[in-house]
Amino acid sequence: MESWVSMPKVELHAHLNGSIRDSTLLELARGLGEKGAIVFSEVEQVILKRDRSLKEVFRLFDLIHILTTDQSTVTRITKEVVEDFASENVVYLELRTTPKNNDSIGMTKHSYMEAVIKGLRAVTTVDVDFGCHEMESDASDVCIGSPRKKIYIRLLLSIDRRESTASAMETVKLAMEMKELGVVGIDLSGHPLVGEWITFLPALQFAREQGLSITVHCGE
């Protein structure tokens, strides 16, 4: 195992919400349980279960979406996820996430992604490159070369199959705005039994026309 961990690796399919530490999920769930928002004992079993069916996987994702709804949590899990991949000697990471609106706390898709970028900048255990050659001067601390280990990160913005055409188009336009911050493509993901492919075709065609790469989850 030590030799496998030490080997430099490329990770091309990492979901931000699918890579959260169990300890962090349990901590967040315990906090909501104390507030009476969820029943912690039931949620704990969902988090700790192994050998999940596809149905159980999406049940876990539904829970994660409940637990990760504010900017500070998004920033925290981004930082932890990058540090965990770096600790396993991943040198190139494509990290995909679905920008979310949460009107109750004033979170927009744009502020969600700002929280992700803040998490990338907060990483201290490794140097992070996420498009530094095109970044503003205020991010120079991320770009300065050093003898420390480095991880290259590129972002994919995901369209959830529960979204509308308009919402999908909003995600594509956001990806275009954030190209200089390492956004390289669009992902279509979510529960494969939800939604219709044709709903997202205009947004994906627009993304292709704008030079964004596309990756599609299909029939999992």
- Catalytic residue positions, numbered: 220
Angle subtended at Cα 178 by Cα 163 and Cα 152, rounded to the nearest 5 degrees: 105
Dihedral sign computed on CA atoms, order 94, 100, 106, 108: positive
Enumerate residues 6+ apart whose C-beta is below 8 A from 9. 88, 89, 90, 91
Separation of alpha carbons 122 and 144, rounded Å: 15
Q: If we measure between CA atoms, which residue out of 127, 129, 101, 104 comes closest to residue 115?
A: 101
Query: At 174, is the secondary structure helix, strand, or coil?
Result: helix
Asked whether the beta carbons of 172 and 212 are under 8 A apart, the reply is yes
Separation of alpha carbons 220 and 175, rounded Å: 25
Dihedral sign computed on CA atoms, order 116, 122, 128, 131: positive
